[in-house]
Chains A and B, each alone.
Chain A
Amino acid sequence: MDEPRSWLECDTRFIPAHYQPVSLIDLALERGVNAHRLLQGSGLFYEDILTGDKLISPQQFHALIANARQQLQADDTSFLIGHQWLPGHCGAASHALRHATNLLEALQRLIRLQPLLSPLMMPRLRLDERHVWLSWSDSFGSGSQAVFLIEASMTAVSSVSQWLSGQRLPWAFHLAHARPRYIEQYWVHLGERLRFDCPLNQMCLPREYLLTPWAEASATAGQVAEQEGWGMVRTLVAPRSLLDGLHDYLVKEIRTPLRLEQVAEAFAMSPATLKRKLKKHGSHFQEQLDRARSAVALELYLSRGYTTEEVADYLNFTDRANFRRSLRRWTGLLPSELSTWLGSQR
């Protein structure tokens, strides 16, 4: 029962409208979109945003993104927005990121201050012997805006790390969606190291770039700003989203038998409530469990070089055929296909 009792949900108003949403609004207005049409159905008014204390919910942000895409009808919106999102205009949190002394510190700060810096998408960092892996998951079930958010988030991290390091970092991108028709946008904004139809949305970089010192950072200013940012995170109604909390819990407990009832208990809610909350986010328990297992399986394959047998054992599968079927359901790939995919990896 060590899980916190409150969570950010898709209708929790915690995103300051003048942080990330405003860069999207500005871009749309600059490109001649009518302000009324842009904010239609989002429950937002332009005057509210100008006050500087308006908080919006992830749902409202999703609606805003949907409107902006609809009105702009351009393939590059997500990428242009991504270039602006980090370090962004989020006060101390942005300042902390701006003064990170190396990539590792920047990524750690991004994750620690995630509710402020990347409110809709959760980055998770993993290091293995040779690579840095940054995987992304959708914190609030964004539905049809998922690809947009992935494009924007990955562009944001690759753009800010390039800006701060003063160097083109050879990020490679694994994307869960199919290769889009507007591939040229990926080439220009992310680079040529792209893989589509992957089991997971993640980006990867050789480890040697992790600790290279960044020239223009001020270590003390960065630390102070991080403390201040962390103070801001703690004033939020909850430090993280329900889906992210659930995912981390499932990953941690993946070797134990996991049932809805007992997970709901750990989250201090009734099974019916958990079910209803997941439904509100467009998901259900089995899907969350599959995602967690898929993430664990991939980590074992990718970073620890496990064989299929070892992965199956780790996840308590006694029946090989059953494991093959399950892996197929989680990742869309059979073990043999997965190892081909892994083999062509680096």
Chain B
Amino acid sequence: MRLFQKLQTVPMLTSHRVKLAVLFVAANIGLMLHLLNGDIKPLSAWDWLDIAGEGGSALLLLVWIWLLLKSRPAGYVTNLLFLGLGCLFFSLFMDVVDEFVALPDEITWDGWLESGPMPAGFVLLTLGIFHWHKEQLAINEQMRNRERLFREHRQFDKLTPLGDAHYLRKQLELALGEAEQARLPVSVVMVDMDGFANINRDYGHKEGDRLLQVLTQQILLNLRQHDLLCRLAGDRFALILPHTGASQAQLLAEELQKSIQHLAYKSSRQGERLYLSATAVAAMAREEDAETLLYRLNIAMAKAKQTLEVRHG
């Protein structure tokens, strides 16, 4: 479930080892064919502009291929993109080799090596990008309730698959602007675990982290299509509810509280049941900016917590 877990770079590349090896062998065979059948051009005949242009493009394509393989899991879309880029690279590489090696006139296959893979590469790359687009739509569906309108990977929280406080602030500003223009209400709900510090103390940070990840999923399951969940800090989450009035937001806050109370969470080591409870407060945006609204919710949260029984925090 953890989409944003740091991608393990090493295994990612090793699973693509065969692909890289094939590309390497193909480029070498092309080079060998040229060297076997032709003669190296004298230095005076080298066309530096062509060498720089074609060689540079070939190098950049290698960088693209490396980044692609480094960041993507193996699969249909990755294969298509790789094949496309690989063909383009091969074609440009043959062009570069051609600048150094003069082939006798009776040989015609070199033209095929240079120009053949190019259109094939473009077709494959186009197919790859088309399917990438399809894949992205599928991922967007998975990202529902976790992002809206824009994506900013630097604002992903490091622990949960959610946006962080900066992402929340930006989204809240957007939502407030939208709401004002459309003259529709927008509400925010803040959820905070009770006694979370004690769980960290008694069961350790790892357990606390795991609980936050589970809670994230639990909260996401309770949301509507357009609601957005972010992690504010620690065990405090914030929810932006577009087109939602105060009473509906209050209802959702209560539902979330109940849902967390009914979550039968078990500790990872002993499988011990931890009894959880959370405090959720809701507020409808008045004419105010994101910071004021967040601050107001925060005060509401502090008041709600004050009435809690002892042994909670």
Contacts and interface: CB of A to CB of B under 8 A. Distances in A.
Contacts of A76: 233-234
Interface in A169-206: 182, 184-185, 187-189, 191-192
Interface string B182-200: 0000000000100001101
Interface in B193-225: 197-198, 200-201, 205-206, 209
Given A162-B313, A166-B311, A184 B6 contact: no
B232 interface: yes
B198 A185 contact: no
Given A163-B201, A166-B311, A192 B302 contact: yes
Interface string B284-299: 0000000000100011
Contact of A79 (B192, B198, B234): B234
A32 B209 CA distance: 13
Contacts of A31: 158
B233 A30 contact: no
Give chain A's interface residue range (CB within 8 Å of chain B). 20 to 34
A79 B205 CA distance: 12
Contacts of A74: 158
Contacts of B302: 191-192
A189 B233 CA distance: 9
Contacts of B192: 188
A75 interface: yes
Nearest to A189: B234
Contact of B201 (A75, A83, A184): A83
Contacts of A26: 205
A112 B232 CA distance: 37
Contacts of A234: none
B232 A163 contact: no
A280 interface: no
A175 B79 CA distance: 56
A155 to B, nearest CB: 10
A30 B165 CA distance: 22
A168 B192 CA distance: 14
A122 B144 CA distance: 48
Contacts of A192: 298-299, 302
Contacts of B233: 75-76, 182, 184-185, 187-189
A319 B196 CA distance: 54
Interface string B89-127: 000000000000000000000000000000000000000
Interface in A129-186: 159, 162-163, 166-168, 182, 184-185
Nearest to A87: B201
Interface string A8-47: 0000000000000000001100111000000000000000
A80 interface: yes
A187 B300 CA distance: 12
A84 B200 CA distance: 9
A183 B302 CA distance: 15
Contacts, number: 57
A168 B279 CA distance: 15
B142 interface: no
B279 to A, nearest CB: 12
A263 B305 CA distance: 50
B9 to A, nearest CB: 12
Nearest to A182: B165
Contact of B200 (A32, A75, A83, A168): A83
A80 B200 CA distance: 9
A185 B164 CA distance: 11
Nearest to B169: A184
Interface in A70-96: 74-76, 79-80, 83-84
Contacts of B234: 76, 79, 185, 188-189
Contacts of A27: 205
B306 interface: yes
B236 interface: yes
B254 interface: no
Interface string B235-262: 1100000000000000000000000000
A298 B298 CA distance: 30
Contact of B313 (A79, A168, A182, A187): A168
B311 to A, nearest CB: 5
A17 to B, nearest CB: 19
A163 B299 CA distance: 22
B310 interface: yes
Contacts of A75: 165, 233
Contacts of A159: 197
Given A188-B234, A191-B302, A192-B298, A163 B205 contact: no
A74 to B, nearest CB: 6
Contact of B6 (A32, A83, A166): A32
A184 B234 CA distance: 9
A188 B198 contact: no
B299 A188 contact: no
Contacts of B205: 26-27, 30, 80, 84
Nearest to A27: B205
Interface of A: 26-27, 30-32, 74-76, 79-80, 83-84, 159, 162-163, 166-168, 182, 184-185, 187-189, 191-192
22 contacts: A26-B205, A30-B205, A30-B206, A31-B158, A74-B158, A75-B165, A75-B233, A76-B233, A83-B197, A84-B205, A159-B197, A162-B197, A163-B201, A167-B310, A168-B305, A182-B233, A184-B232, A184-B233, A188-B233, A188-B234, A189-B233, A192-B298
Counting from the closest, the 3 A-B pairs by CB-CB distance are A188-B234, A184-B233, A188-B233
Given A76-B233, A184-B294, A188-B236, 13 more contacts: A26-B205, A30-B206, A32-B6, A75-B233, A84-B205, A159-B197, A168-B306, A168-B312, A185-B233, A185-B234, A187-B232, A188-B235, A192-B302
